[in-house]
Amino acid sequence: ESKRILDLMIHSIYTNKEIFLRELISNASDAIDKLYFRSLTDSAVGLNREDFFIKISLDKEARTLSIEDNGCGMTKDELENNLGVIARSGTLDFKNESDLGAQDDIEIIGQFGVGFYSAFMVSAVVQVVSRAFGEEQAHVWESEGPDGYTIRACDKDTHGTLITLTLKENEKEENYDEFLETHRITGIVKKYSDYIRYPIRMELQKSRLKEGSEEEYKSYTEEETLNSMVPLWRRNKSELTREEYDQFYKDKFYDYEDPLSVIHVKAEGAVSYQALLYLPAKAPYNYYTRDYEKGLQLYANGVLIMDKCADLLSDHFSFIKGLADSQDLSLNISREMLQQDRQLAAIAKNLSKKIKAELERLLKNERETYEKFFGEFGMQLKYGLYSGFGAHKEDLKDLVLYYSMAQKKLVTLQEYTDAMPQDQKYIYYACGETAAKIELLPQTERVREKGYDILCLTDDVDEFAIQMLREYAKKEFRSVSGDDIGIEDEQQQKDVQEKTEANKELLDFMKEALSGKVHSVQLSGRLSRHPVCLSTQGVLSIEMEKVLNAMPAQEKAQAQRVLEINAEHPVFEKLRKLYEQDQEMLKTYSALLYAQAQLIEGLPIEDPVAFSNEVSALMAKE
Ligand code: ADP
Ligand code: MG
């Protein structure tokens, strides 16, 4: 099996053969990390950061490329266990997977580290000479590929590992000689391993004018460090281009798209740290699920200590990708300790401020970018408004956008209130599936006639968040379907009141006919042309009821429905007549009007067949 897997890997997975070098260098760097880490906590190691290096050497005649490190090295057992078995990763049991298609193979290979084995993509022979730190005896592991390997004792002066690849002979379509060219190797190192924190050295051919001569050159070799080592985030903002920032993001956080924005933070003071924060252009497919894990990479002085440190990011900014690096954090920090770490809390608080400021900047100066961001992650901000009983509303209320019915575009709450006419007292909103459907709602009629704008709330969380906000710029929110739309028109109010009194028995009769379904039947102050609508009393709206009932729960939520009837509509005259002449028919009419009001709200009606039959019966009537 391992032969088959190796063949597959060599021939089909990595068409990009050059990555073998990245893999071997990062193994060398990991090995140094291990020893360096020990040296920090155990002074007996007696090594300093500057002592560590990775060295690449090329030998054209022997067709070899070697990579040497002075990291932790490997014992005989470790050579055997770490390099000996290709599928050493415990997640796989190849014996059971007897008949896999090629597609499956590729997926399987992706599941475990094939790092070291990538050397066989370019090598005929791989030799690993290694001496574990603190051991006297060194060993050499040698293999020509999947058929096996040998291990024997050997001499090595220093601890660490020396890997020597004897490159394959060139084939018709494959040229392996390129990996013996210094410029090719320096290019690969720069491309993949520039931020390796230890120097990657190589002897380079150089030439200079011979002394005393003006045209005769003399060549010499000099060892140079190929990588810039200093991590991007430690460099000065002024030296960095947006392309570099973006490339770093794509490499490190596995995104195909450039981020919408980059925040590079360098903080000095009580806690010193650097951070690199990115605003992704697209929400990951699992972003709004439980599977999504928020967090920033956490480095202590350039050494990665945690891949996803959740405590560094507020929930409402969980979409941010990036890292933070602090000199002031202890390396031996554990997960539990992190949670209580005051320095970490201070960093997190600061980062939240920076993120908020950047979002505000985008909103102000790059509206299009902001709206793109909002389309992807706006819902998270809205959840943030609502969560923790509105604990973060001051931070978030100016970052949310809603669709304005009058302006036909997304607006902030500030923009909405700025555009309010003098006499408008409240911020109006209406809920529905889409802005287009909301515009059709009869409940919006009066408010629009007054020339007031309405915010269209289309996300499940919207109304909950709005209720948590309660007000903006001292203006309360009012739902156009709530019990009081707060539009005072004395004449109209008087009319409705008088008519209500005059028709009290009719309204009571209808309420009785709809008993268990509606809280009351009233004459409407919010309709002018439409015959009926539903409104609600109390905090629970119909949209909220829908959201709550979509969640698994024992008890169903029930908004207090009010069936509102337009007394100016001809249908009302008919109702009055029926009350005098045919109360059975009035019951049917009541049920039909209620069904219509439910349909307008996008609510299912209890018995669509009965509804259809009743309407047809009415249509057939002479
Ligand atoms: P991974 O790096 O994902 O663990 P690799 O196949 O790249 O997988 O390496 C396998 C293992 O071999 C490493 O985990 C490490 O224990 C060991 N190893 C590889 N290269 C070195 C090295 N230069 N020094 C010490 N150990 C090494
Ligand atoms: Mg590796």
Ligand with the closest atom to the CA of 33: 1
More confident residue, 98 or 406: 406
Q: What is the model's pTM?
A: 0.67
Name all residues whose Cβ lies below 6 A of ligand 1: 23, 27-28, 31, 69, 71-74, 82-83, 113, 115-116, 161
Q: Taking residues 594-620, what's their average pLDDT?
A: 92
* Model pLDDT, residue 562: 95
pLDDT, the chain, mean:
88
Nearest CA among 478, 481, 490, 466 for reference residue 424: 478
* Model pLDDT, residue 484: 85
Write phi, then psi, for 563 (nearest 5 degrees). Answer: -90, 115
DSSP H or E stretch at residue 20: helix 19-41
Q: Taking residues 336-365, what's their average pLDDT?
A: 88
CA distance 341 to 84: 42
More confident residue, 11 or 600: 600
* Model pLDDT, residue 312: 94
CA distance 503 to 487: 23
Looking at ligand 1, which residue's alpha carbon is closest to its atom 14? 82
Give the ligand 1 atom nearest the CA of 83: 12
Q: Taking residues 373-391, what's their average pLDDT?
A: 94
Q: How far is the CA of 306 from the centre of ligand 2 (A)?
A: 18
* Model pLDDT, residue 79: 94
- The type of residue at 196 is I
Q: Taking residues 586-593, what's their average pLDDT?
A: 95
CA distance 32 to 202: 18
Q: Please give the share of the chain, as a percent, with pLDDT higher than 90.
A: 64
Quick one: pLDDT band at residue 19, thresholds 50, 70, 90? Answer: confident
Ligand with the closest atom to the CA of 160: 1
Give the ligand 1 atom nearest the CA of 28: 23
* Model pLDDT, residue 338: 62
* Model pLDDT, residue 92: 40
Q: How far is the CA of 312 from the centre of ligand 2 (A)?
A: 28
At 24-48, the pLDDT tens digits run: 998 899 899 899 988 988 888 899 9
Q: 353: which 2 tokens? A: 């401020």
CA distance 127 to 59: 15
CA distance 149 to 544: 67
Q: How far is the CA of 116 from the centre of ligand 1 (A)?
A: 6
- The type of residue at 519 is H
The pLDDT of residue 601 is above 60: yes
Quick one: pLDDT band at residue 101, thresholds 50, 70, 90? Answer: very low
At 457-511, the pLDDT tens digits run: 999 999 999 999 999 999 999 999 988 888 878 888 898 999 999 999 999 999 9
Among left, alpha and beta (phi > 0; psi -120 to 50; other), residue 562 is: beta
Residue 510 · residue 521 · CB < 8 Å:
yes
* Model pLDDT, residue 417: 97
Q: Taking residues 535-558, what's their average pLDDT?
A: 87
The residues, ordered by sequence, that sit 6+ positions from 188 with a Cβ below 8 Å of its Cβ are: 18, 21, 22
The pLDDT of residue 69 is above 90: yes
The residues, ordered by sequence, that sit 6+ positions from 598 with a Cβ below 8 Å of its Cβ are: 534, 604, 605
More confident residue, 211 or 384: 384
DSSP H or E stretch at residue 55: strand 54-59
Give the ligand 1 atom nearest the CA of 27: 20
- Best probe residue, ligand 1, of 92, 116, 129, 162 (max atoms within 8 Å of C-beta): 116
Q: 568: which 2 tokens? A: 């100016």
Nearest CA among 606, 602, 612, 408 for reference residue 516: 606
Residue 596 CB coordination number (10 Å): 19
Q: Taking residues 381-397, what's their average pLDDT?
A: 93
At 396-436, the pLDDT tens digits run: 999 999 999 999 999 999 999 999 999 999 999 999 999 99
Q: How far is the CA of 73 from the centre of ligand 1 (A)?
A: 10
CA distance 128 to 140: 5
- Nearest-10 crossing angle of helices 462-469, 542-550: 120
Quick one: pLDDT band at residue 348, thresholds 50, 70, 90? Answer: very high
Per-residue DSSP letter, 319: T
Residue 398 · residue 420 · CB < 8 Å:
no
Looking at ligand 1, which residue's alpha carbon is closest to its atom 16? 82
Please give the angle made by the CA atoms of 323, 327 and 331, to the nearest 5 degrees.
Answer: 85
Q: Taking residues 10-36, what's their average pLDDT?
A: 81
* DSSP collapsed to 3 states, 206-249: EEEECCCCCCCEEEEEEEEECCCCCCHHHCCHHHCCHHHHHHHH
More confident residue, 621 or 184: 184
Query: Which residue's entry shows tokens 């505000």?
Result: 360
Residue 509 · residue 579 · CB < 8 Å:
yes
Q: How far is the CA of 449 from the centre of ligand 2 (A)?
A: 68
Looking at ligand 1, which residue's alpha carbon is closest to its atom 13? 82
Looking at ligand 1, which residue's alpha carbon is closest to its atom 20? 27
* Model pLDDT, residue 4: 65
- The type of residue at 566 is N
CA distance 78 to 128: 12
Give the ligand 1 atom nearest the CA of 112: 3
Please say whether the dihedral angle defined by the alpha carbons of residues 506, 512, 518 and 519, taken in this order, is positive or negative.
positive
CA atoms within 13 A of residue 104's CA, in its CB half-sphere:
8
- The type of residue at 299 is Y
Quick one: pLDDT band at residue 314, thresholds 50, 70, 90? Answer: very high
Looking at ligand 1, which residue's alpha carbon is closest to its atom 18? 27
Among 331-340, 459-468, 507-516, 521-530, the least confident range:
331-340
Q: How far is the CA of 26 from the centre of ligand 2 (A)?
A: 6
Q: Which residues surround ligand 2, an ion (CB under 5 A)?
A: 27, 115
Looking at ligand 1, which residue's alpha carbon is closest to its atom 3? 113
Looking at ligand 1, which residue's alpha carbon is closest to its atom 12? 82
Composition of the chain by helix, strand, coil, percent to 5: 45, 20, 35
Q: How far is the CA of 509 from the centre of ligand 2 (A)?
A: 79
* Model pLDDT, residue 113: 44
At 134-179, the pLDDT tens digits run: 999 999 999 998 778 999 999 999 999 999 999 999 988 888 999 9
Q: How far is the CA of 67 from the centre of ligand 1 (A)?
A: 13
* Model pLDDT, residue 68: 98
At 194-230, the pLDDT tens digits run: 878 899 999 998 888 888 888 888 889 999 999 988 8
CA distance 248 to 242: 10
Q: How far is the CA of 163 from the centre of ligand 2 (A)?
A: 13
Q: How far is the CA of 282 from the centre of ligand 2 (A)?
A: 29
Looking at ligand 1, which residue's alpha carbon is closest to its atom 23? 28
- Best probe residue, ligand 1, of 5, 20, 30, 141 (max atoms within 8 Å of C-beta): 30
- Best probe residue, ligand 1, of 27, 92, 127, 130 (max atoms within 8 Å of C-beta): 27
DSSP H or E stretch at residue 139: strand 138-143
Mark out the alpha helices in 391-409 (DSSP H runs): 393-396
Q: How far is the CA of 488 from the centre of ligand 1 (A)?
A: 76
Ligand with the closest atom to the CA of 77: 1
The residues, ordered by sequence, that sit 6+ positions from 179 with a Cβ below 8 Å of its Cβ are: 18, 21, 65, 122, 167, 185
- Strands 54-59, 217-225: pairing kind: unpaired
* Model pLDDT, residue 301: 72
Q: Taking residues 109-121, what's their average pLDDT?
A: 66
Write phi, then psi, for 186 (nearest 5 degrees). Answer: -60, -35
* Model pLDDT, residue 330: 64
Residue 223 · residue 201 · CB < 8 Å:
yes
